[in-house]
């Protein structure tokens, strides 16, 4: 099932990197939730609670890292930093606001802190891989799959690599690229 993703603004005006990040955060969240639904329909055991939280968090870190690489092509370095910082903070806030759905209950602020720490920790590893105009390279996608593999039950670990690399990553990156291309094109027109 395809989700509808906004990739333009109604009013034509120059957008700040933080506004662009907000426009990217919402579809990123939707893509993560759509992916987990697809995975569950494919009989992966991703139960509400810690497994659900871990999966969504890893998926959002992957998308935020990919968005940062796309922003690198379009923005000046200081704008890119502002964009990525705002995006990651917004995604962390989404994770925190939805901790009831993700974990059932959590200490206030715990999910947000965990997400920010996860992004910083994974960011150093993702930095080892390339993201070209064609998208993430094999290593980038393989690392994403390995991160998902860590959070799934033993019975699903073998198969998640193929699912993540061949289905989840390409679908999500294609939608993210399309969204960001539309938003950045609108930025140039304003």
| Alpha-carbon distances, residue 42 vs 34, 48, 55, 154, 156 (angstroms) | 12, 16, 15, 16, 10
pLDDT interval class at 1 (50, 70, 90): very low
Question: Cα separation of 14 and 4, whole Å?
Answer: 24
Number of folded domains that form the chain: 1
Residue 11 belongs to some domain of the structure:
no
Question: Cα separation of 85 and 163, whole Å?
Answer: 29
Residue 7 belongs to some domain of the structure:
no
pLDDT digits (tens, 9 = 90+) for 155-175: 999 899 999 999 999 999 999
Q: Which H helix or E strand runs over 132?
A: strand 131-132
Per-residue H/E/C for 102-125: HHCCCCCCHHHHHHHHHHHHHHHH
Residue 68 belongs to some domain of the structure:
yes
Per-residue H/E/C for 145-190: HHHHHHHCCHHHHHHHHHHHHHHHHHHHHHHHHHHHHHHHHHHHHC
Residue 9 belongs to some domain of the structure:
no
Note down the domain range covering 159.
Answer: 17-184
Residue 78 belongs to some domain of the structure:
yes
Residue 12 belongs to some domain of the structure:
no
Question: Cα separation of 176 and 126, whole Å?
Answer: 17
pLDDT digits (tens, 9 = 90+) for 72-125: 999 999 999 999 999 999 999 999 988 876 676 667 888 899 999 999 999 999
Residue 158 belongs to some domain of the structure:
yes
Residue 189 belongs to some domain of the structure:
no
Q: How many CB atoms lie within 10 A of CB 5?
A: 17
- Check if the beta carbon of residue 32 is closer than 8 Å to that of residue 98: no
pLDDT interval class at 34 (50, 70, 90): very high
- Say yes or no to pLDDT of 177 above 80: yes
């Amino acid at each position: 099932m395809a989700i509808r993703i906004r990739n333009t603004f109604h009013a034509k005006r120059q957008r700040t990197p933080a506004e662009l990040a907000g426009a990217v955060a919402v579809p990123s969240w939707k893509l993560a939730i759509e992916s987990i639904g697809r995975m569950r329909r494919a009989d992966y055991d991703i139960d509400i609670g810690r497994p659900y939280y871990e999966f969504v968090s890893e998926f959002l870190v992957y998308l935020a890292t990919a968005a940062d690489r796309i922003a690198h092509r379009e923005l000046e370095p200081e704008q890119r930093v502002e964009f990525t910082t705002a995006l990651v903070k917004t995604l962390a806030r989404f994770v925190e606001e939805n901790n009831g759905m993700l974990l059932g209950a959590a200490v206030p602020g715990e999910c947000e802190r965990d997400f920010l720490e996860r992004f910083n920790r994974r960011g150093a590893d993702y930095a080892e891989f390339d993201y070209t105009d064609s998208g993430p390279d094999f290593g980038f996608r393989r690392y994403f799959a390995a991160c998902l593999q860590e959070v799934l039950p033993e019975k699903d670990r073998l198969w998640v690599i193929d699912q993540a690399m061949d289905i989840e990553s390409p679908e999500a990156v294609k939608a993210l690229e399309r969204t960001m291309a539309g938003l950045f094109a609108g930025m140039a027109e304003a």
